[in-house]
A = this chain, B = another copy of it.
Amino acid sequence: MLLTTLNSIGHTNGALAAIPSVPVKKSPHGMVSRNYQKEDTVIRFGNTQIGGGSFSVIAGPCSIESVEQLLETAHAVKSSGATILRGGAFKPRTSPYSFQGLGEYGLQLLSLARESTGLPVVTEVMDAVDIPLVEQYADILQVGARNSQNFSLLKKIGLSRKPVILKRGLMTTVEEFLNSAEYILASGNTDVILCERGIRTFETSTRNTLDLSAVCVLKERTHLPIIVDPSHAVGLRRFVKPLTRAAMAVGADGVMVEVHCSPETALCDGDQSLTPEDFSHLMKDLGIMSAFMSKLS
């Protein structure tokens, strides 16, 4: 009787909606788990890869600002040895009145930089409706820290065939972070790269607190590659180099660092962006370290 009422009242059109289905769990520990897959996931695209013993360096500006800014930075990071170019076209900003990114025009510039340098590119998707658009231009999709538990976005990005960099939220535990990745895998996309980028704590001398222990914990619990973003974590250019070295020493699969050809004029996060020269020094250090890392037990 109640259901009869339900069918005839209000805004419903007489037909009951279907109940959305929940994915069937393929493993008691989740598909992200080492128990589900023992060997490390290696994600290949273009001429490069993430995971599998390599140390990937993703570099580029926080936000794409102009064709000159992007190309100059892109060529600089390439010549120093970066293997993937980053650049934001859709920017999640705390205030609605801050620069929000160039949108599709930024994606077009990113595509140009990819053609010009040969580097694969990664850029953030803030809204599921933009996925088809971003897929046209980018080799890797990124989910930002503030969307780390935006489950609608995670489900839809799980339908994409592009690899995904999933950033840890500022207050996401390691366990929740893995569950967020599981949303993507459960939707069908297994090419997920986890990115530790600092958590929020009481400490204010750095922008956030880089949690390198989480890399150890994640390496044990999941087969997915784990990279580190020291730029957003620490928020200060001069500390990016030592923290990148620490990320390599702790066993991360790579880093994502912000580089800007002219940090003092950057529209976003200039304080934490390396200059091309800083980046060149960083890459030399990583080259020396990686030669020795293979000798460690």
Is A146's CB within 8 Å of the partner chain B?
Answer: yes
Contact A199 B210 (CB under 8 A): no
Contact B137 A11 (CB under 8 A): yes
In the complex, what residues of B have CB within 8 A of residue A186's CB?
Answer: 96-97
Is A46's CB within 8 Å of the partner chain B?
Answer: no
Is A54's CB within 8 Å of the partner chain B?
Answer: no
Is A200's CB within 8 Å of the partner chain B?
Answer: yes
In the complex, what residues of B have CB within 8 A of residue A202's CB?
Answer: 171, 173, 199-202
A297 to B213, CA, bound (A): 25
Of residues 185 through 210 on chain A, the ones whose CB sits less than 8 Å from some CB of chain B are 186-187, 199-206, 209-210
Is A234's CB within 8 Å of the partner chain B?
Answer: yes
Contact B103 A11 (CB under 8 A): no
Contact A127 B128 (CB under 8 A): yes
Contact A150 B147 (CB under 8 A): yes
Chain B residue at smallest Cβ distance from A182: B96
Is A35's CB within 8 Å of the partner chain B?
Answer: no
- Chain B nearest CB: distance from A88 CB in Å? 13
Contact A206 B213 (CB under 8 A): yes
Is A42's CB within 8 Å of the partner chain B?
Answer: no
Binds B, one of A14-22, A75-83, A159-167, A257-265: A14-22
A93 to B206, CA, bound (A): 24
- Chain B nearest CB: distance from A175 CB in Å? 7
- Chain B nearest CB: distance from A251 CB in Å? 5
In the complex, what residues of B have CB within 8 A of residue A205's CB?
Answer: 173-175, 214, 217
- Chain B nearest CB: distance from A186 CB in Å? 4
A179 to B280, CA, bound (A): 37
In the complex, what residues of B have CB within 8 A of residue A9's CB?
Answer: 111-112, 115
Chain B residue at smallest Cβ distance from A230: B213
In the complex, what residues of B have CB within 8 A of residue A179's CB?
Answer: 94-96
Is A33's CB within 8 Å of the partner chain B?
Answer: no
- Chain B nearest CB: distance from A209 CB in Å? 5
In the complex, what residues of B have CB within 8 A of residue A297's CB?
Answer: 281, 284-285
Is A38's CB within 8 Å of the partner chain B?
Answer: no
Q: Which 3 A-B pairs have CB atoms at the shortest separation, nearest pair first?
A: A17-B104, A171-B171, A127-B152
Kindly list 7 other residue pairs between chains A and B, CB separation below 8 angstroms, not including A9-B115, A94-B149.
Answer: A10-B111, A96-B183, A169-B171, A173-B203, A202-B202, A210-B212, A284-B297
Residues of A within 8 A of B (CB): 2-3, 5-6, 9-12, 16-20, 22-25, 30, 67-68, 71, 92-105, 107-109, 111-112, 114-115, 126-129, 136-137, 146-147, 149-153, 155, 169-171, 173-176, 179, 182-183, 186-187, 199-206, 209-217, 220, 233-234, 238-239, 242-243, 245-251, 281, 284-285, 288-289, 291-292, 295-297
27 contacts between A and B (CB under 8 A): A2-B112, A5-B112, A6-B109, A9-B112, A17-B103, A17-B105, A18-B104, A18-B105, A22-B98, A94-B149, A95-B179, A96-B155, A96-B187, A97-B182, A97-B186, A128-B129, A129-B129, A173-B205, A199-B201, A199-B203, A206-B217, A209-B211, A212-B212, A216-B243, A246-B250, A249-B289, A289-B292
